[in-house]
Amino acid sequence: MKKLIFILIIILIIVGSIFAISKIGKVKNEKDHEKEIFESLEIEEANLTEYIVYGTHLNLKGELKGAIQDVNSVNLLLSGLNGEKKNIKVDYEIAPDKISFCTSNLINEGIDLENLSIDKHYVLLEVSYGEKNQKKYYSIKNGTKYPNVEYYTITKNRSNNKINIGFSIYQTEEKSTNYMALDIEHSKLPKNVYDVIIDPGHGGSDNGAENRKI
């Protein structure tokens, strides 16, 4: 019996050590990716002038000021701590002194919050310049009056994600950088948050589904 207990203790120690090493490795990789992200950024920062969470989407509007020349394309880039990168198409206008961008002119379009992976995604402005299509990346600071927002995904298979749409500062000895991020984790719905299902189409020109006995 003592021998069995001793073996179980050894197994628990080994499993715990493997888990701890895996956790340390994951944290180190995330720190490396975070450092890589912020070292790739330009000194200039894009300014967020409006952001709206409507339905299941996040709609962003903003601008990048400065001398603007030879722009080929403008996108948003979601750059995650796990190394995943996702481009988000934006509408944009170019003036001599700034780029104005918008995820959509429709309030219910933009970044689909329901289909983002569990991770911390930094929201960057990606601008491609010149004949060589050189890409430059800019952090986004909050120029609106609105603070951080918590969003909960629709319940699927009794599971939800919590998304913190947040703004903060990345600080190093050399400089401080304002940034926007979508921090996503599994979470149960709080007691004061509900899924609401709307059944449209009853009444008016579209009567919707009907059950009639003929």
Q: Mean pLDDT in runs of 10 for the chain (214 residues)?
A: 69 64 56 87 95 93 89 94 92 93 91 94 95 94 94 88 95 90 91 70 59 56
Q: Please say whether the dihedral angle defined by the alpha carbons of residues 91, 94, 95 and 97, taken in this order, is positive or negative.
A: positive
Tokens 């790739």 correspond to 40
pTM of the model: 0.78
Residue 11 phi, psi (nearest 5): -65, -45
The pLDDT of residue 5 is: 74
Pair type for strands 134-142 and 46-54: parallel
Tokens 């003036």 correspond to 95
The pLDDT of residue 9 is: 72
The pLDDT of residue 14 is: 66
Domain extents in the chain: 35-186
Q: Please say whether the dihedral angle defined by the alpha carbons of residues 206, 209, 213 and 214, taken in this order, is positive or negative.
A: positive
**Amino acid symbol at 3:** K
**Amino acid symbol at 89:** K
Structure tokens at 182: 């979508």
CA distances from residue 109 to 50, 113, 120, 146, 171 in whole angstroms, order as listed:
14, 10, 21, 19, 33
Q: Please say whether the dihedral angle defined by the alpha carbons of residues 116, 31, 164 and 85, taken in this order, is positive or negative.
A: negative
CA neighbor of 151 nearest in space, from 185, 107, 117: 185
- 3-class SS string, 113-148: HHHCCCCEEEEEEEEEECCCCEEEEEEEEECCCCCC
CA neighbor of 9 nearest in space, from 17, 199, 149: 17
The pLDDT of residue 56 is: 92
Q: What is the CATH number of domain 35-186?
A: 2.60.40
The pLDDT of residue 199 is: 62
The pLDDT of residue 64 is: 96
The pLDDT of residue 210 is: 59
